[in-house]
Amino acid sequence: MKSLAITRTNAWSTSQTYLFGVVLTLALLLAQTITASARGAGDSFADLAESLSPAVVNITTTQTVAQPDRPALPQIPKGSPFEDFFKDFLDPGPNGQNQKQRRATALGSGFIVSADGYIVTNNHVIDKADEIVIELFSGVELDAKLIGRDTKTDIALLKVEADKPLPFVAFGDSDISRVGDWVLAIGNPLGQGFSVSAGIISANNRSLRSGPYDDFIQTDAAINRGNSGGPLFNMDGDVIGVNTAIISPTGGSIGLGFAMASNVVSGVVNQLKEFGETRRGWLGVSIQDLDLEMAEALGLEKAAGALVSDVPEGPAKEAGILAGDVILNFDGKEVDDTRGLIKQVGNSEVGKSVRVIVQRDGKTQTIKVVLSRREDAEKSIILPAVSKPEAATEEKSLGMKLTSLTDEIRKQLQLPEGAKGVAVVTVDEDSDAFEKGLRTGDLIAEVGQLPVERPADVNKAVQAAKDAGRKSVLFLVRRDGNPRFVALSLDS
């Protein structure tokens, strides 16, 4: 019986082993399919690269530059047999030195976005170029003309004329791209010609502090010099970024590449195509992010929104927005921070009427604002208001020695003639004010969202905040004309 039992067990095991093997094989195949589906890529990128490469171009630019100055060469005696041979080298320019010019070349990448020959690249690829030559994937070279550029996002739009419609690619939605998604970069790294590299999205919404509209996709796909201006594709073959920068101690790829997000680029490209320039909305406020202390001082439940630190002449002032307001919602969208608001406003149409929800004095209110054009506003100069001088008075508050303003004090502290507020004379180094960055010469314009012109006004506002049970009070401070809010602890 024992032997029979063993035999039956062996017979059952053999049959089940076969079935188990079949099931295991199917399971492994299914797992591979799921994995491939999850990562958005098959066993090879070859088909995708083959279909996308014809829309990617190499860009060569030339620029005329003067040769560096060099010492004048010795004169050759007239009649010397070497006179003609060295004539080109010894002919002095107007400064007595050789003034010949040379042609400098630079390489980059780009991609075609329409069959009629519009091409997107980085502005730094074609900046100051005298000539721009596009090399297609087929090897054909075409001269390109510059349609427009945007230095704030480092994007330029070019145009070529071809005998037949060109292959092109489309922009995708960068906002739905996720960290971990596969991406493909195609370009002209180090001038080696068309090249493909693959990687994943390492992070979204990165800022390199290169401009107010920074929205970079970080990737570990190999990006090197020459890749600039080239496309970053998702696995659907859509452009989700323009390869713009790398971080590297060696100048080569170490897996820290950055592409400007397509949802920023596409809007810029549309404006450059239509107008030859950008036309961004302008609200007309100086803003800063909130920290927890500022939020507490303003009576906010969380540190979200954009705190208005200054309102110069412009749309916001005309509509009634004030310094100290916290912008919570712009045109129907919640405002998380200053970066978000800047992008929302910049992407808005010039002349559009928008609703702005602000918190003021603990209450929310809706203000209707008609946006102007940022580019026009940046060209204008706003002159400060002029105030009448008064006798100086001094007091101490929260570790600072303060003084009211007179013409003489404005001169001593190198403040503008029309400056208004209370000047900081000294700051105790062990005070919260010193730790928060306040220094001699700073100008306090508001305390607790109330304007101040005398040191007594400052102490009155501080006492009011203490009486209200606040742990901190908000100071509006100006330095070199630039305003910022600072929350100072009332325990100082």
If asked whether residues 265 and 186 sit together in one domain, one would say yes
Cβ within 8 Å of residue 164, ≥6 positions away = none
Which pLDDT belongs to residue 191? 82
Question: What is the C-alpha R_g of the chain?
Answer: 32
What is the domain count for the chain? 4
Report pLDDT digits (tens) over 290-301: 888 888 888 888
Is 106 part of a structural domain of the chain?
Answer: yes
Contact 257/223 with Cβ under 8 angstroms? yes
Q: 374 is in which domain, residue-wise?
A: 284-379
Task: State what percent of residues in the chain have pLDDT above 70.
Answer: 80
The pLDDT confidence band at residue 252, using thresholds 50, 70 and 90, is confident
Q: Which of 12-26, 205-219, 235-249 bottoms out in mean pLDDT, i.e. has the lowest?
A: 12-26
If asked whether residues 306 and 348 sit together in one domain, one would say yes
Is 313 part of a structural domain of the chain?
Answer: yes
| Domain boundary, last residue among 379, 402, 422 | 379
On the question of pLDDT at 259 being above 80, the answer is yes
Quote the mean pLDDT of the chain.
82
d(CA 218, CA 201): 6
Q: Does residue 379 or residue 102 have the better pLDDT?
A: 379
Is 33 part of a structural domain of the chain?
Answer: no
The pLDDT confidence band at residue 185, using thresholds 50, 70 and 90, is very high
Is 138 part of a structural domain of the chain?
Answer: yes
Tokens encoding 34: 């799921």
| Domain boundary, last residue among 160, 193, 215 | 160
| Domain boundary, last residue among 344, 379, 414 | 379
Which pLDDT belongs to residue 160? 97
Which pLDDT belongs to residue 310? 87
Report pLDDT digits (tens) over 18-74: 444 444 445 444 444 444 444 455 679 999 999 999 999 999 998 876 555 555 555
Q: Which of 66-70, 226-230, 460-464 bottoms out in mean pLDDT, i.e. has the lowest?
A: 66-70
Is 74 part of a structural domain of the chain?
Answer: no
In terms of Cα–Cα distance, which of 444, 433, 440 is closest to 404?
Answer: 444
Q: How far apart are the first and last CA of the chain?
A: 92
If asked whether residues 353 and 399 sit together in one domain, one would say no
Active site residues: 124, 154, 228
Range with top average pLDDT, 68-77, 314-323, 397-406: 314-323
If asked whether residues 291 and 371 sit together in one domain, one would say yes
Range with top average pLDDT, 211-215, 276-280, 361-365: 276-280
Is 477 part of a structural domain of the chain?
Answer: yes
Report pLDDT digits (tens) over 439-452: 888 889 888 878 88
Tokens encoding 220: 């570990």
Which pLDDT belongs to residue 321? 94
The pLDDT confidence band at residue 204, using thresholds 50, 70 and 90, is very high
Report pLDDT digits (tens) over 354-400: 999 999 988 999 999 999 999 888 776 443 333 334 456 788 888 89
Report pLDDT digits (tens) over 157-177: 999 999 999 999 999 999 999
If asked whether residues 56 and 137 sit together in one domain, one would say yes
On the question of pLDDT at 15 being above 90, the answer is no
Range with top average pLDDT, 56-65, 189-198, 260-269: 260-269
On the question of pLDDT at 481 being above 80, the answer is no
Which pLDDT belongs to residue 389? 40
Is 26 part of a structural domain of the chain?
Answer: no
- In a 10 Å sphere around its CB, with 0-12 CB exposed, 13-18 middle and 19+ buried, how is residue 127 labelled? middle
Collapsing DSSP to helix, strand or coil, 336 comes out as coil
Average pLDDT over residues 423-437: 88
Average pLDDT over residues 231-253: 91
pTM assigned to the model: 0.67
Which pLDDT belongs to residue 235? 96
Which pLDDT belongs to residue 112? 97
The CATH number of the domain where 360 resides is what? 2.30.42.10
Phi, psi of 455 (to 5 degrees): -55, -35
If asked whether residues 373 and 412 sit together in one domain, one would say no
